[in-house]
Amino acid sequence: MRKIIILDTIIIECHIFPSIECLSLFAHNQVQIEAHENYQKRSFRNRYFIKDRDGLQSLSIPLLKGKNQQQHIQNVAISYDHPWVKQHIQTLQTVYGKAPYFLYYFEEIKQMLEAKTSSLFELNLNTTKFLLHKIGLKKDLELTSTFCKNYESAILDCRNKFDINSANQVELVESRSFSNVKINPLMSGLDLLFNFGPESILLLNELR
């Protein structure tokens, strides 16, 4: 896991059910969400990872066909032609159904997915707000007002710094406060929430 640099502001794209590492950035910095970029394929914008027997399992949000790569992020639409919502819900139940805090949060997540939000950006914002609130990170989500290619040195530009292809190769981080707990920082914050509930914030505070 990269060392968290504490600055006034960090700029990052909007992820679906953000990773533990992404949430750690929120825990230690003021964060602005990039709201005026063009969509980029194969990223955490429409894909998240959960725990699996063999490592990590990838869950993706299908998008309506078109030139998404060139579309403004707020214009990218989600496809519901296939039953991916049902598949995601069933997978979460299978993987985390016996986790200590699963029942405390699952119904809200289920409702969020079943709402069939048309915009990927809106769904990403909703899932980010949900995780921040439930974990106890009292942060107001600020959106960028315009697209800026380069930022001054006082601002850490984390856009496109999360490599989705390296998720299974990332070295696990050991928790100091929780014995025998190892965390893959690119795994979705859902894993923290289902397993540690209100104690999730203690784990995030260790990831610097």
pLDDT tens track for 40-65: 988 999 999 998 877 889 999 999 98
Q: Is residue 120 part of a domain?
A: yes
- Best mean pLDDT range from 4-8, 40-44, 122-126: 122-126
The rounded distance, in Å, linking the Cα atoms of 176 and 97 is 26
At residue 206, the 3 state secondary structure works out as: helix
Q: Is residue 74 part of a domain?
A: yes
Q: Minimal CA–CA distance to 48: which of 190, 173, 203, 153? A: 190
pLDDT tens track for 85-94: 999 999 999 9
pLDDT for position 69: 65
pLDDT tens track for 20-35: 999 988 888 889 999 9
CA dihedral 178, 106, 100, 198 (to 10 degrees): 40
Count up the domains in the chain and report the number. 1
Q: Is the pLDDT of residue 4 over 60?
A: no
For 161-197, give one letter per residue: b (16+ CB within 10 A) or e: ebebeebeebeebeeeeeeeeebbbbbbbbbbbbbbb
Rounded to 10°, the helix 102-114/84-96 angle is 170
Place 121 in a pLDDT band, splitting at 50, 70 and 90.
very high
Q: Is residue 158 part of a domain?
A: yes
Residues 6 or more apart whose Cβ sits within 8 Å of residue 53 = none
Q: Is residue 124 part of a domain?
A: yes
Beta-strand relationship, 47-52 and 55-60 = antiparallel
Q: Taking the chain, what is the end-to-end CA distance rounded to the nearest angstrom?
A: 9
The rounded distance, in Å, linking the Cα atoms of 203 and 190 is 13
CA dihedral 160, 162, 167, 169 (to 10 degrees): 100
Q: Is residue 1 part of a domain?
A: no
Domain of residue 189, residue span: 9-206
Percent of the chain with pLDDT over 70: 92
Q: Is residue 4 part of a domain?
A: no
The rounded distance, in Å, linking the Cα atoms of 50 and 28 is 23
Q: Is residue 201 part of a domain?
A: yes
Q: Is residue 102 part of a domain?
A: yes
